[in-house]
Every structure is written in structure tokens, then in C-alpha cells.
Chain A
Amino acid sequence: MPLTVRYTDSEGQQFEVHPSKISAKISANAATEITLTFPDKSGLYSDVIVPKDMIEIEETP
């Protein structure tokens, strides 16, 4: 099933982003770590993806 990645910026604007790779490390009683990778040679995402903004991932039915 594909994954949908939603991004919410500091002003509350929400949009879908399309990473080329998502990797996850999930350990017991510890924070889950997700790394999103974007092929960003055009700079499309560089000004958008910044710390403190929210990421949500769900499986798309």
C-alpha cells in the first residue's frame, strides 16, 4: 500500500510532499525516527522543509 506524507508548516498550511525514500527506526520505549529523502536538485523542497514543522504519514487505502 502506498504511503501519504502530509506536511504542516508553522502557519498551519497543510500539503502533501513526495519523498523519494522514507526510512524508519522504531525502538521500544524510545522516540521513533523517520528520515525523508527528497531528490531536491531543483530546490523545490529546500525552502519548505524546515525544523519544527509537522510531518504525518499514513497508509493510503
Chain B
Amino acid sequence: MTSIDMIFNGLVVDTEDGEELSATCYDVLSSLAREHVLFGEGEYYGMDAGAIFKDIVAKSGNSVVGYGGNISTGVIVDAINLTDSTRLDAMSLLLSIINGGISESATPYHFYAKNGKVILAPYPDFSGDNILELTDDNVKKISKKTNGYNYYNCATVIGKDGIRGYFPHKQDSTGEMIDDFPSNPRYHKLITEYSEKLVGVASCSLIARSFVRKYSNVVPDITCDIHPDRYDLFTGMPVYVESERYGINRRYRIADITWEYGVQKTMTLTLSEYKVDKLSDFVAKFSR
């Protein structure tokens, strides 16, 4: 990314006028959070989740310039009804299905807005020029937070008419999934919020898999206060932290960014891990 790239493009949403005037602005994803999938437009059967995602964005009546991601993710949604969801909620649900459906070694997807377009794409690889390197020279302070309360090793997702998808789940001799509550449901998450949307069992299972994939590792989030010398950082960006002072030497991705540009300039990054490669280990351990 060059220095002349736009770092924000959005609309003024709120203003507050007092001793000073403040204007709160959001990018195009905010518009999609305030618009629903219309009646008659939300049912999809046997389609690639990326194509559904694109359709949800393309049918927006708001000023979305376009869609800039890959259409094909290789993850087929058996049956889903997104009617009455906000478009942003529908996009988040499809993202969960995609990340539950991709192979264990594949890079997870994310979505973001850039120059008025919505982009769905895998996270950038840990290679090339995209990596942000943080060392004791450009880090002011690091803190770690480990949230073990959010650990889950299995999930059940309830869909329409009480259908259930599980992860982990067992298959019969033909490879078809059979209804089978996890045999050892410690740290079990029951997800009921999509009961009107998920029409197919397979989609329920993908949501469950996506959830377990995300929450079956308890790793610390790292919060870094850094010297703000660039404002083009984005969530999902690979970061390599090499800090002798804090004893950290590993790779992360940016989860959240806050920055302030004024008399004082500050920037804080929350970094987290997404250990896809651990999923197979976890499943093997669980089935023993």
C-alpha cells in the first residue's frame, strides 16, 4: 500500500455541537447494518457462500459502490433463508459458514470495506511486504490477556424446525453425517440464534465447526501501544512481534485498531492468533 491510498471513506452519521463540534463517521459496512434482506430475496439453495455474499451486497439499496472479493470460496451452502436479517448480519453468518467449510490448512476469510467497496477475501499470507514488524524500537507497551472462559470444544447449532448440526460429529459408513450429540460435551456451546435462517443441516454443522475452530484454542490476546507512524494498517494484517523486553517472538494478526491523531498521537493494536493448524490435532484428540 502506498502512502497516497485512502485510509477512510465513509459518511458523517452523527454530529454533536457544543464547546466543540464532533462528527462520527462510518464506512459502508455501517449502511449495510441498517438495511434488511427483503422478503422474497433471502432464500438460497446449493450456492457457493461467496456468491450469496456478493448477492447480499449487490442488492443493497445503499451507496455501496461494489463488491471486490472472490466469488467462489468452494463452500456450498445447502439451504439458507436470510430474509429479515440485516445485510451485515447475513454477511457475518456467511463468513462463519465459509470459515467452517474451508479446509483445515486454508487461510480463514474476513471482510472489510475499502474505497466504498465490500471485499471478502482470505486473510493475507504471512509472507511478502504486508507484514508489520514490531520490535522494542516501535512498541511502547505490551499487555497480554488470556480469556479461558471463552474456551469451547464442541458446539451444536439449531436450525429451522429444530434441525441440529454438530461439531465434532460422527459419520456413518457412507460418510453421511448422523445425528449424534458429541460424546464428551464438555465446554459445549449451544447456538440458537440462527434457528430461522439455517434451513440445511450441513450449514448448521459448518457454523458449529467455525465456532469450535475459533474458540478451541486459549491463547492470549496481545495489546500493543505503538508509535503511530502509519495509518494504513488493517484488521487481519499479519504482524511479527519480536520483543526482547516482553519475551515475545511470534506471529499474530491485527484484530482491532484504535488510533488518535491530534495534539497527541496514539495507536493501539489488539493482536490475536487464529490457529487453523490446531484443528486437526483437536479433532484427533477428541475422537480418542
Contacts and interface: CB of A to CB of B under 8 A. Distances in A.
Given A33-B24, A38-B22, A52 B231 contact: no
B258 A51 contact: no
B10 interface: yes
Interface in A1-23: 1, 3, 20-23
Contact of B20 (A24, A32, A40, A51): A40
B200 to A, nearest CB: 23
B232 A35 contact: no
Given A50-B15, A51-B12, A37 B262 contact: yes
A56 B24 contact: no
B26 A57 contact: no
Interface string A21-41: 111111111111111111111
Given A26-B234, A32-B26, A61-B3, A55 B256 contact: no
Contacts of A45: 21
Contacts of A39: 20
Nearest to A3: B261
Given A21-B263, A37-B262, A49-B23, A28 B11 contact: no
Contacts of A23: 258-262
Interface stretch (B44-52, B109-117, B162-170): B109-117
Given A24-B258, A27-B256, A53-B11, A33 B19 contact: no
A29 B110 contact: yes
B10 A32 contact: yes
Interface residues of B, number: 52
Contacts of B255: 27-28
A59 B260 contact: no
B13 interface: yes
A49 to B, nearest CB: 5
Contacts of B10: 32, 34, 54-55
A32 B262 contact: no
A32 B29 contact: yes
Contacts of A21: 260-263
B95 interface: yes
A35 B23 contact: yes
Contact of A51 (B13, B27, B113): B13
Contacts of B95: 29
Contacts of A3: 7, 231, 261
B206 to A, nearest CB: 17
Contacts of A22: 260-262
Nearest to A59: B3
Contacts of A25: 256-258
A22 B22 CA distance: 10
A1 B8 CA distance: 15
